[in-house]
C-alpha cells in the first residue's frame, strides 16, 4: 500500500528540465580555444582544480583561487553563486576573494561531454 502511495506521489512531481547543451552538472576547464575555452563534464570537480558545479534552481559552485596570489602551489576555494540560461547564453555571478565576479558566456556543444564557451562579458565588482 505504501509503495503505491509513494509511487503515485513521486510520479506526479515535476522534474527539472535538464535538456540542452548545459544541463545541471559539474564541469572543468579542458583547453583554451579562440575567444574562450572548452569545459569537460566530470562527475565531481577535483580538489585544487578550477571548475563549476551547476545545481538545480539556478545555484552554482565556482571553484577558483582562494586568494589574490596565483603562483604555485595553487589553492582553490568553493564560492556559492547563481546562474541562468537564456537560449545559448549562460550568465553567472559568484563571490571571489576580492568581491563579486559576473560572466556571460555563449555556449555550444563541442564534442561528447564537452562544450565550447565564448566569453562575452566578464565584470568584477571589488569589495572595499
What the chain holds in terms of domains, given with CATH numbers, is 16-126 (2.40.128)
Mean pLDDT score across all residues of the chain: 82
What pLDDT was estimated at residue 23? 58
16: pLDDT strictly greater than 50? no
91-105 average pLDDT score: 96
Cα angle 105, 15, 83; round to 5: 20
* Most distant CA pair in the chain, distance: 61
Is pLDDT at 37 greater than 50 in this prediction? yes
Mean pLDDT within 102-111: 93
**Collapsed DSSP state (helix, strand, coil) of residue 120:** strand
- Mean pLDDT over residues 74-97, rounded? 95
Q: What is the per-residue DSSP string for 22-61?
A: S-S-EEEEEEEETTEEEEEEESSPPTT--EEEE-GGGEEE
Tell me how far apart the alpha carbons of residues 48 and 62 are, in angstroms, rounded to a whole number: 12
Position 51 pLDDT exceeds 70: yes
> Does the pLDDT at position 18 exceed 50?
no
Query: Other CB atoms closer than 10 Å to residue 95's CB: what's the count?
Result: 16
Reported confidence tier of residue 35, pLDDT bands at 50, 70, 90: confident
Residue reference for cell 569589495: 127
Report the predicted TM-score, pTM, of the whole model to 2 decimal places: 0.76
| Other C-beta atoms lying within 10 Å of the C-beta of residue 48 | 12
* Residue 10 pLDDT exceeds 90: no
State pLDDT tens for residues 110-120.
888 899 999 99
Amino acid at each position: 500500500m505504501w509503495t503505491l502511495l509513494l509511487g503515485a506521489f513521486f510520479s506526479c512531481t515535476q522534474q527539472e528540465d535538464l535538456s540542452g547543451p548545459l544541463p545541471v552538472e559539474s564541469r572543468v576547464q579542458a583547453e583554451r580555444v579562440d575567444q574562450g575555452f572548452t569545459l569537460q563534464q566530470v562527475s565531481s570537480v577535483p580538489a585544487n582544480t578550477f571548475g563549476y558545479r551547476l545545481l538545480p534552481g539556478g545555484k552554482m559552485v565556482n571553484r577558483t583561487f582562494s586568494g589574490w596570489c596565483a603562483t604555485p602551489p595553487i589553492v582553490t576555494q568553493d564560492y556559492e553563486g547563481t546562474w541562468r540560461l537564456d537560449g545559448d547564453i549562460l550568465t553567472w555571478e559568484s563571490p571571489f576573494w576580492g568581491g563579486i565576479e559576473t560572466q556571460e558566456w555563449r555556449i555550444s556543444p563541442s564534442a561528447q561531454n564537452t562544450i565550447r564557451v565564448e566569453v562575452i562579458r566578464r565584470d568584477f565588482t571589488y569589495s572595499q
